[in-house]
């Protein structure tokens, strides 16, 4: 059965303390893996798309990487404004639609 699992569920960081979020997936024929950021009371906001193992994407303090079984979202020297819930989603060739993980809630304190 296709699954998307994110860990940890919650992460509390001090400002400047780098860390990584994990998104592991089991899917036959990955078409794409997507990362989103969601602020409280708002809809998810697109961050990255990764299509093949070894691919990396960067945006400001965020860097996403992809292997055949998981993706990491690295947050380098985070700031309080990086506090949000980070969601990953996978899309398989066979069903085309997105399947989301439950998310990692990140809190960055000054």
| Subset of residues 79 to 108 that bind other proteins, contact rule: CB under 8 A | 87, 89, 91, 96-103
Contact 23, 71 (CB under 8 A): yes
Residue 60's DSSP bridge partners are: none
Contact 62, 10 (CB under 8 A): no
Distance in angstroms (rounded) separating the CA atoms of residues 60 and 53:
22
Q: At closest approach, how far in Å is the CB of 31 from other proteins?
A: 7
Report the candidate in 99, 78, 75 with the shortest Cα–Cα distance to residue 87: 99
Nearer to other proteins, 17 or 107 (CB): 107
| Subset of residues 17 to 36 that bind other proteins, contact rule: CB under 8 A | 31-32, 34, 36
Nearer to other proteins, 22 or 32 (CB): 32
Nearer to other proteins, 18 or 94 (CB): 94
| Subset of residues 40 to 69 that bind other proteins, contact rule: CB under 8 A | 41-46, 49
Residue 57, number of CB atoms within 10 A of its CB: 15
- Binding residues for other proteins, rule: CB under 8 A, are 31-32, 34, 36, 41-46, 49, 87, 89, 91, 96-103
């Amino acid at each position: 059965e296709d699954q998307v699992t994110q860990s940890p569920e919650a992460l509390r960081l001090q400002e400047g303390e780098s860390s990584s979020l994990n998104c592991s997936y089991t899917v036959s024929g990955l078409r794409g893996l997507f990362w989103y950021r969601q602020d409280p009371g708002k809809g998810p906001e697109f961050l990255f798309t990764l299509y093949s193992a070894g691919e990396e994407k960067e945006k400001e303090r965020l860097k996403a990487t992809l292997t055949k079984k998981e993706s990491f979202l690295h947050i380098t020297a985070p700031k309080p404004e990086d506090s949000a819930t980070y969601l990953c989603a996978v899309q398989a060739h066979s069903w085309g639609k997105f399947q989301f993980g439950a998310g990692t809630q990140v809190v960055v304190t000054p």
